């Protein structure tokens, strides 16, 4: 059978239960309670030009780096299928579930930060910029150099630490629908991920 005739790769229905409980760049960030207060009280105060430039530059660089890593990891995923890794060595499906969880969450975080970043630029106020800065820093701590080596438990723990700042940012930016628990992230992106892997597999 030619690769072009291969069906869409199917992923398990769940990686995480429905309930939820790279530091390649570092930028200064207020503790979360302070950021929340600033986001409320400084809502209409313009962010300083220097701070806005610093935060936007850090976000652009981080998102670009993460996007490149995601593309590389999706290609690696296709090669694992091509080599028969999941069929022959991952008999219980644990490694597939782990990889899917990492890829779907990284995709969600990169895209959500991108949408929030647009809101920060549009508004230009200190409160929104501060909330975004804290969330960006927490996400960078989670998606570190060893991110794609994390276990499911370590990923869940890391996301639970980043979630308060991330959720605050999404709410401040008017994007509360992006503050998803891990199970919802998986369901939202798994089909798209499977199609991306299939395309890379067909191109091998």
Give 133-170 pLDDT, tens digit per residue.
Answer: 999 999 999 999 899 999 999 999 999 999 999 999 99
Closest listed residue to residue 109, CA positions, set 70, 144, 139, 150: 139
Examine residue 122 and state whether it is found in any structural domain, yes or no. yes
pLDDT digits (tens, 9 = 90+) for 88-131: 999 899 999 999 999 999 999 999 999 999 999 999 998 899 99
Which residues, in sequence order, are bridge partners of residue 35? Answer: none
Instruction: Specify the pLDDT at position 145.
Output: 86
pLDDT digits (tens, 9 = 90+) for 50-78: 899 999 999 999 999 999 999 999 999 99
Measured CA to CA, the distance from residue 2 to residue 17 in angstroms comes to 36
Measured CA to CA, the distance from residue 202 to residue 204 in angstroms comes to 6
Report pTM: 0.80
Share of the chain above pLDDT 90, in %: 70
Instruction: Specify the pLDDT at position 12.
Output: 43
Measured CA to CA, the distance from residue 180 to residue 105 in angstroms comes to 10
Instruction: Specify the pLDDT at position 30.
Output: 44
Find the domain containing 97 and state its range: 48-203
Examine residue 6 and state whether it is found in any structural domain, yes or no. no
Examine residue 116 and state whether it is found in any structural domain, yes or no. yes
Instruction: Specify the pLDDT at position 11.
Output: 44
Examine residue 123 and state whether it is found in any structural domain, yes or no. yes
pLDDT digits (tens, 9 = 90+) for 8-45: 444 444 443 333 333 333 333 444 554 555 555 555 57
Examine residue 12 and state whether it is found in any structural domain, yes or no. no
Examine residue 125 and state whether it is found in any structural domain, yes or no. yes
Examine residue 36 and state whether it is found in any structural domain, yes or no. no
CA distances from 157 to 88, 135, 188, 194 (A): 30, 16, 20, 25
State the total domains in the chain: 1
Q: Read off the tokens for 181.
A: 């628990």
Q: Is residue 6 over pLDDT 50?
A: no
Examine residue 158 and state whether it is found in any structural domain, yes or no. yes
DSSP the chain: --GGGPPPPP--S-SS-S----TT-------HHHHHHHHHHTTTSBPPHHHHHHHHHHHHHHHHHHHHHHHHHHHHHHHHHHTTHHHHT-TTSHHHHHHHHHHHHHHHHHHHHHHHHHHHHHH-BHHHHHHHHHHHHHHHHHS-TTGGG--HHHHHHHHHHHHHHHHHHHHHTT-GGG---HHHHHHHHHHHHHHHHHHHHHH-
CA distances from 63 to 2, 25, 35 (A): 35, 11, 22
Reported as a pLDDT band with limits 50, 70 and 90, residue 2 is: very low
């Amino acid at each position: 059978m030619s690769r072009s005739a291969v069906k869409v790769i199917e992923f398990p229905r769940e990686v995480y239960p429905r309930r939820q409980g790279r530091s390649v760049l570092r930028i200064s960030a207020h503790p979360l309670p302070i950021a929340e207060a600033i986001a409320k009280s400084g809502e209409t105060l313009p962010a300083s030009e220097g701070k806005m430039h610093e935060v936007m530059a850090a976000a652009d660089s981080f998102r670009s780096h993460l996007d490149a890593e995601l593309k590389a990891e999706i290609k690696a995923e296709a090669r694992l299928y091509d080599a028969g890794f999941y069929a022959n060595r991952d008999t219980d499906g644990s490694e597939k579930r782990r990889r899917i969880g990492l890829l779907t969450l990284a995709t969600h975080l990169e895209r959500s930060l991108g949408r929030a970043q647009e809101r920060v630029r549009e508004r230009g106020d200190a409160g929104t910029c501060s909330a975004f800065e804290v969330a960006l820093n927490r996400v960078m701590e989670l998606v570190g150099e060893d991110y794609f080596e994390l276990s499911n438990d370590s990923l869940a723990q890391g996301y639970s630490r980043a979630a308060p700042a991330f959720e605050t940012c999404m709410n401040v930016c008017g994007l509360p629908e992006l503050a998803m628990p891990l199970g919802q992230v998986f369901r939202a992106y798994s089909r798209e991920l499977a199609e991306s892997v299939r395309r890379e597999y067909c191109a091998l």
